[in-house]
Structure 1
Amino acid sequence: MDTRLFEILVCPLCKGPLEYDKKAQELICHADKLAYPIRDGIPVMLADEARQSVEGTPVPLSDDKSGS
């Protein structure tokens, strides 16, 4: 992924800065605790595609821990 893209990309929800996680191929918004996937070198900046990050470990937003 071209790192120059970071100069213009922001979180679509809070407009905050993003951090590139090269290993996970995700852009992380620490303010919203969301991780946006990068697929085939293209950032997918859709809230529905983001994963919620818990203590630095991304988990799916739909992860139901209520047990119901």
Structure 2
Amino acid sequence: MDAKLLEILVCPVCKGPLVLRKDAQELVCKGDRLAFPIRDDIPVMLESDARELAADEDVG
């Protein structure tokens, strides 16, 4: 994922910063504990497509 794009992307729910998890191909919002998928190098920033992180899951 392009570093410049990652700098400007924010969580669509809380407008907070996102953390890239390369191994899982997703962007994580620590505040909302949501993971947004990256498909074909394109982040899918829809709340309906995000998955909730498990209580014991590391947020990066």
Task: Please say whether Structure 1 and Structure 2 have the same fold, judged by a TM-score greater than 0.5.
Answer: yes
Unmatched runs of 5 consecutive residues or more in structure 2: none
Is 1:43 matched with 2:40?
Answer: no
What is the alpha-carbon root mean square deviation over aligned residues?
1.5
> Which structure is larger by alpha-carbon Rg, 1 or 2?
1
Unmatched runs of 5 consecutive residues or more in structure 1: 58-68
Structure with bigger strand share is 1
Aligned to 1:21: 21
Cα drift, residue 2 of structure 1: 0.7
SS of alignment partner, residue 6 of structure 1: helix
TM-score scaled by length of structure 1: 0.79
Aligned to 1:66: none
Aligned to 1:65: none
Aligned to 1:56: 57
Is 1:4 matched with 2:8?
Answer: no
Give percent identity, aligned residues only.
Answer: 60
Per chain length, whose mean CA-contact separation is higher, i.e. which structure has more relative contact order (CA < 8 Å, sep 6+)? Answer: 2
